[in-house]
Structure 1
Amino acid sequence: MIDALDGYGVALSVTDDLEAHAAAVEGWGYSAIWLPGGQLETLEPLLRVLRATQRVAVVPGIVPLDVHGPAAIAELYAEAERIAPGRLVVGIGNQAGGLAALGRAVDEIDATVPRERRLLAALGPRKLGVARDRFGGAVTLLVNPGYTTWAREHLGAGATLAVDQLVVLDEDAESARGAAREVLGFLVTVPGYAAAFSRMGFTEADIRDLSDALVDAAVARGDVERVVARLREHEAAGADHVVVGPLGGPGELETLERLAPRLLRG
């Protein structure tokens, strides 16, 4: 179990304004700030957020091991503990060579990052098993609340389940789905996500064509009340921590600001 991760966190883009945005979302009451792994050319932005905030957990979602290996992770963790003890959670994934290579990398990481301060990007039963046995928990993406229930059953009660939920704060269904499809068009070509959609009951045609039903399963859309209701469904389904990932709509920061009063205090 990862004590630093509970409630609702946010995904922030890595920009020149990262420090100001991080301070703002912390002030609105969110419990964690996640930075997309694909935007982490270096791991320095994580330290930037730690320096700019006082209490939130900071999480890479996720560190791709093919880009930043165990040595880089050890260096990051040591510096994070120096400047902000207890607030960095290391999200890990994307290891070429399958589960055997992942296991070897984790063997190295064991010496520098405690199990209860790291989580694994996991969708399938084997990865969820690794998350249960060797990590403090798992993070999922592009799943509906039904999948969250299934993931919780496979992960067990003793590990943290974080769910990254993409959201579009837009009441127009077609424009909201259009914003979602801009991101999903690539993600559904990744085998792990395609397999997860198959587990949710979607056909090859749904996945290939990004059907309305698939888009609505993967992305929360609509007004504040509708989006908040979807986020709370994950919590009810067994998620310990839900990450709000804004797409389209009024923009990243405005989306998070508008959701905060209802989500965090409603």
Structure 2
Amino acid sequence: MNLNGVGIWSSPLRYGDPGEAADAASELDDLGFTALWIPDVGGPVLQSVENLLGATKRAVIATGILNMWMHEPHDVADAYARLTAEHGPRFLLGLGISHAPLIDAKEAGRYQKPLATTKAFLDGLDDAERPVPNDGRVLAALGPKMLTLSAERSRGAHPYLVTPEHTAIARTALGADALLAPEQTAILTTDRDEARSIGAPWLQGYLAMPNYANNLRRLGFSEDDLQSVSGRLFDAIIAWGDESAVLARIDEHRAAGADHVCVQVLQADQRAMPREQWRRIAEALR
């Protein structure tokens, strides 16, 4: 499983038209991106994984993340065993505990004890008839306890909505051997106003989630930064500019200890696949 280099994190690959997603995934594979990451906020995520595995030959297909509240461990383990048997060791099971506002919206009070719930889900994967091996899974981890658990019971961590400073903190917490694969958001425009018009509303939605807000507070951002989506916060989270700006941020993560960086490209229509921007980044990486 090649998890060096740069990957693509994409919601349209998950929730867009499956045929277009397969075609785009095939091109991304040919462009040299080493992993394609997709989210899970409901629906048959493992079906999307299968679609992308079938469309690619080399790229790892990773969930970034599979929502533990929405699946049963034994079902996930069965699907993992089947998909890896059919497609080889190219499915990386990224697991995450999600956020209280999302989970409690459907069932008030359900979101409790995130660390214990994560451990229990991992126990379920281990106890399945065909277990998911540690090196086939990673955890969405931001804080110190979840980062420690990532190193102990998985291949490593997939932090989302983070800065290179967090990557350095995560590397220290994980140790030298665990995989560290942060997500990095990017907007390919040199116009600050355009970048903010695309990125600020997107960022505000995430800042409403306590896990992300608390992590940014730990990194030194103030309440005013969070409430206003300050320029300081915006620039720290989103790499905007031309291709060189994106590559420079990738290099910052690598220098801080990342093994693999997955780039999420935003554009005005966030439901569309940014295929032109993906091609530009691939060309710059070459």
- Smaller-chain TM-score range? over 0.9
Work out whether 1:99 is the aligned partner of 2:115: yes
Between structures 1 and 2, the one with greater strand share: 1
Counterparts of 1:148 and 1:120, CA distance in 2: 14
Counterparts of 1:116 and 1:82, CA distance in 2: 16
Counterparts of 2:284 and 2:226, CA distance in 1: 33
Q: Which moved further from structure 2: 3-12 or 85-94?
A: 3-12
Counterparts of 1:215 and 1:39, CA distance in 2: 28
Give the gaps of 5 or more residues in structure 1: none
Cα deviation for residue 182 of structure 1 reads 2.1
- 1:255–1:34 CA distance, 2 compared to 1 (3 A): same
Work out whether 1:6 is the aligned partner of 2:4: yes
Counterparts of 2:140 and 2:259, CA distance in 1: 15
Work out whether 1:29 is the aligned partner of 2:32: yes
2:22 to 12, 19, 33: 19
- Pairs within 5 Å for 1:28-107: 28-38=31-41, 40-94=43-97, 96-97=111-112, 98-107=114-123
- Pairs within 5 Å for 1:69-218: 69-94=72-97, 96-97=111-112, 98-111=114-127, 112-218=131-237
Identity in percent: 35
Give the count of matched residue pairs. Answer: 262
Q: In the alignment, is the contact (CA less than 8 A) between 1:170 and 1:249 conserved in 2? A: no
- 1:9–1:42 CA distance, 2 compared to 1 (3 A): closer
Matched letter for residue 107 of structure 1: D
Q: In the alignment, is the contact (CA less than 8 A) between 2:45 and 2:66 conserved in 1? A: no
Give the gaps of 5 or more residues in structure 2: 99-110
Counterparts of 1:123 and 1:199, CA distance in 2: 10
Cα deviation for residue 39 of structure 1 reads 6.0
Counterparts of 1:133 and 1:229, CA distance in 2: 31
Counterparts of 1:177 and 1:234, CA distance in 2: 22
Normalising by structure 1, what TM-score? 0.94
Q: In the alignment, is the contact (CA less than 8 A) between 1:168 and 1:249 conserved in 2? A: no
Cα deviation for residue 38 of structure 1 reads 2.3
Counterpart of 2:274 in structure 1 is 252
Counterparts of 1:42 and 1:147, CA distance in 2: 28
Counterparts of 2:45 and 2:52, CA distance in 1: 13
Question: After TM superposition, which residue ranges in structure 1, 4 or more long, deviate above 3 angstroms?
Answer: 39-42
**Could you say what the CA RMSD is over the residues aligned between the two structures, in angstroms?**
1.5
Q: In the alignment, is the contact (CA less than 8 A) between 2:42 and 2:70 conserved in 1? A: no
Work out whether 1:220 is the aligned partner of 2:239: yes
Matched letter for residue 203 of structure 2: L
* CA deviations over 1:186-212 (Å, ceiling 9, x no partner): 101111111111122110111111111
